[in-house]
Every structure is written in C-alpha cells, then in structure tokens.
Amino acid sequence: MKLFSKISFSILAVLPMFVFAKTNVLLEHAESLSFDKKQNAECQVLRGNVRFRHEGALLHCDSAYFYSNENSFDAFGHIRMEQGDTLFVYGNTLKYNGNTQLATLRGDVILINRNTTLETNFLDYNRATNVAYYFNGGKLYDDSNTLTSEKGYYFANQKQSEFKDSVKLTNPDFHIISDTLRYNVQSKEANIVGPSDVFYKDEAHIYSENGWYNTTKKYSTLYNRSVVTQKEGRSVVADTIFYDQLTGDCKVRKNALLVDSVQKLILTGNYGDANINNNTALFTDSATVINYSEGDSLFLHADTITCWKDSIYNTAHAFHNVRFYRKDLQGKCDSLAYTQRDSLITMYFEPVIWNENNQLTGNLIQMHVDSNSIDKIIITESAIAVMQEDTAHYNQLLGRKIVGFINENKLQKIEVTGNAESKFFPRDKDSLFVGMNTTTSENLTIYMKENKIDRVLIFPTPNGTLSPLDGLVHEDMFFPQFVWHEGVRPTSKEDIYRRTPTPVRKTIKTDKRRRK
C-alpha cells in the first residue's frame, strides 16, 4: 500500500506539467511591424500577409495585434487556418490564445474537414481537442446531407457532430426535423436523441425520440415507442423498431402495434415482422387482431397471426389456440383463415361460435363478411346449433349443413338442409315447458325474434312427436353429438388469452319437472 501511494503521488505531481505544457506562438511573416502603446505597450501591430505558426497549424491574416507576452493574438481580414492537409478554417476576425489553443472566429466562418463543411458567423474552435462550437445559427454539409441548427458541436477527431435547437437535416430523398440530433459525417448516421420527425418523399413518416437513422441506406433502429407511418394509412408503434425505408420491411419487438386506418384493423404482439408498403405481417407472442370497423370492436388472439395482400385482396391466417371476443359474438378454434376475395372467414378444428344464448359447432365453420360485418355463418360437417332455454333445457338442430343469418349483430334465421333433426322445448303462454318436440325432415328453417324462436318451418315431409317431460330420461333430451362448451367461451377481451383444454361433453342433470 505504501509503495502504491508513492507511485500515485509521483504520477499526479508530473501530470499537470504535461497537460498544461505551453508552447509559444511563432510569428513567421509580416510585411510591417510596429508598436501601439495606446493599444498595449507590448502589443505588436502586424500588417500585410501575416502568418503565425503554432502546434502544427499555420494561421494567416491581413493584419493582427500580437501579444507575445500573453502568447495570443487578434487577427483581422481574410483569416485562414491550416491544420495539416485536412482541416481549414476561414473567417473575418480571429482571437487566438496559444496557452489554451482556443480560436474564436467571427463573420463568414467556414470550417472544412475533408468532405465536410461547416458555415456560421460565430465559431469557437478548440485546437487542443479539435472540437468546434457554433451558436446563433450554422450549417454543416457533406456530399449527402445538409444540417442546420441554432447551436452545434463538431468533433473533428471523431467525425461526429451534435446539433441543438431548430435542427433540420436535408437530403434529396428525405428530411429530418429535430430538437437534438447527432450526426456522424463518416458513417452518415443520424443519432436521434430528442423529439424528431423524418419525412421521406411524402410517402413515409417516422417519429422518434431515441434511435438512429442511416441516411445512406435509409435504415433505422428506433426505441421508446417510436412511430412509423406510411401514406396509405398504415403505421407501426413498438418499443423497438428496425425499419428499412427503401423496402418497407419493419421488424418490431415488444408491445408492437400495426395499425391500418383504412381497413380499421390493429395487429399487436411482442414479436413481429411486417412490410408496411405492401401490407404483409407476421406477429407472435400475444399476437392479437383488433377490428374496430363496427360499434363494438372484435378482439382475436392466436399463437401466430399472418396477413398479406396480393395486387387486390387481403388475406389473413391465425394459427393455433384461436379465441375471439366481441360483446355479441365469441368464438374459438385451432386455426382460422380470412380471404377478402370471397369475403369468408373459415374456422378449422373444433370450431365453436356463440351469439348470446346460441352456440354453433361443426367440423368446419365459415363466416361471410359484408361491409366489414358478419351477415352469415355456414356450418358443414357434423353441424349442430344449440339454443339454451335454461340450465337444463337446450333446443338443438342437426343437419348436413346449417346456415345462420345475422342482422344487426343478432341471429335472425337458421336454415338446416339435409337430414334435418331437431329437439325443441316449447312453452305455453305462461312460459312453462309443455314437453319436448322432436322432428325429422329434409329441411328446416327457424325464424328468431328477440333471441327466441318465433316460428318453425319444416319441409317437405315433416315428422314429429311431442313428448311430455315427465316421461323423459336425460339421454332423451340430448343428441349424442351435443356438447355445451360454456367453460371455454371467451368472456371478455382479456379472456381471449386464456388457454382452454379440448372441450368435453357436459353432463346435464334434470329433475324431470316442468321448468320455467
């Protein structure tokens, strides 16, 4: 410990002498030299092609006041500073301090560093650190971009610049408006560190407060709920966005939203790939579609959701554990597909749809969409429709095909074609059950009113029996295919994320008494 302390002390004792070591400003040329005692007794007045040298830099001017005892000078007229063969500074006046290597330039100041040019009327340039600072307005430009702002820093060694207040980056293809922006003149990357807007040929708009944008490749990485908007009405919001402006490819991570204001759809998830130019997307991890085209929004969740558009039509697929909820309509299945070409939503593998106290099931369910609203439900293969009267009585319909017609979000009519069978529990005028009506026919149509059976049409050759409830056992009241899926029915927009097992047949007990 003692040895370490001695070494540390010796280094600290020498370090200040190294950091603050001074070299004298050398006067190399002037056509005339005089003294101005009124200005300063030690002041040398220099005129005509004045040239100074200091720390590897040449400083030219028309005239100057040289304070040799202070190791500084004031220069006037045609200021030119040359630092090696890469950096040149011009201006009208210059104050230079050889001890601090600080150059203060005013009036028509131009700094040129290889392919980068900075223009301003007020520039402070520290030669020791190669950092230039301007205020009251300035402009920096290279072969690709022009940046203007009220204040700015240029770090010559790092080829980096920072701009503050009324920042604007202009490019032939786009422009950026920002509060604070950093720009690397070598990589042509703009680092967004404050509220910023990127406008691309009136075709796309980016808003971000944190991220970076490659002005050559038109590629950006954006953080903190940035927004990318395309002129056709599609936009992306996420915690992290990787966006290729040339192709429209967009990778999103965490709390992402893809919004289509034309189709009135929102696609959400924590992981997704999209192209906002041609409306293609794949979302996973809490993937959800929200359709807000009607009064009540529909919320649909699946493990994976994809959508795309060909030259005309939109198509969407939802894979595995599909569940959806709207106040008047709920459903579940394993997978789902939507095609705008035929306006059909197709549900695969144990699909179920609920509308109020009605349940529709089958091996395959299709929903027809008209003007963004479902107007028809088509069930083929093991089709069965169930209407719950109470917890023990369920009206049931079987047939090769069942079509439910929906109007104003309510089931208005049900058509059964092919081997139609039914079990109904009619009521008397006091709403008491009078028995169970069993029918068979080729076709059957039910008309609904206020969510109740209004009338039944059975054709062409109906057969039916009315059995009293007292003589029925449990098995008589249900078709063998009957399953009531209430336990897996989504109950809210939050409930669509609940994992549900494969439904099992519910055993319903009855005391065989007449019920209200």
Q: Which residues contact 511 (CB under 8 A, 6 or more apart)?
A: none
- State the sign of the Cα–Cα–Cα–Cα dihedral 184, 188, 193, 199: positive
Distance separating alpha carbons of residues 118 and 132, to the nearest angstrom: 9
In DSSP terms, which residues pair with 270 in a beta bridge?
Answer: none
Length of the chain: 516
pLDDT for res 450 = 79
pLDDT for res 10 = 31
Distance separating alpha carbons of residues 156 and 160, to the nearest angstrom: 7
The C-alpha angle 423, 474, 479, rounded to 5 degrees, equals 40
The C-alpha angle 78, 80, 82, rounded to 5 degrees, equals 170
Structure tokens, 90: 């011009």
Distance separating alpha carbons of residues 428 and 431, to the nearest angstrom: 5
CB 234 within 8 Å of CB 248: no
pLDDT for res 293 = 79
pLDDT for res 515 = 38
Distance separating alpha carbons of residues 303 and 96, to the nearest angstrom: 67
Domains of the chain by range and CATH? Answer: 24-136 (2.60.450.10), 302-516 (2.60.450.10)
pLDDT for res 13 = 33
Burial (0-12, 13-18, 19+ Cβ within 10 Å), 233: middle
Q: Hey, is 477 helix, strand or coil?
A: helix
Q: Which of 243, 239, 237, 238 is nearest to 220 (CA)?
A: 243
Q: What is the pTM of this model?
A: 0.79
Q: Per-residue confidence of the chain (516 residues) as pLDDT tens digits?
A: 333 333 333 333 333 333 445 799 999 999 998 887 676 677 899 999 999 999 999 999 999 999 999 999 999 999 999 998 889 999 999 999 999 999 999 999 999 998 999 999 999 999 999 999 999 999 999 999 999 999 999 999 998 999 999 999 999 999 999 999 999 999 999 999 999 999 988 788 999 999 999 999 999 999 999 999 988 888 999 999 999 988 889 999 999 999 988 888 899 999 999 988 878 899 999 999 998 877 789 999 999 999 887 767 788 999 999 999 999 899 999 999 998 888 899 999 999 999 888 999 999 999 998 877 888 999 988 899 999 998 889 999 999 999 999 888 788 899 999 999 999 999 888 889 999 999 999 999 999 887 788 888 888 888 889 999 888 888 889 999 899 998 999 999 999 999 876 554 444 444 443 333
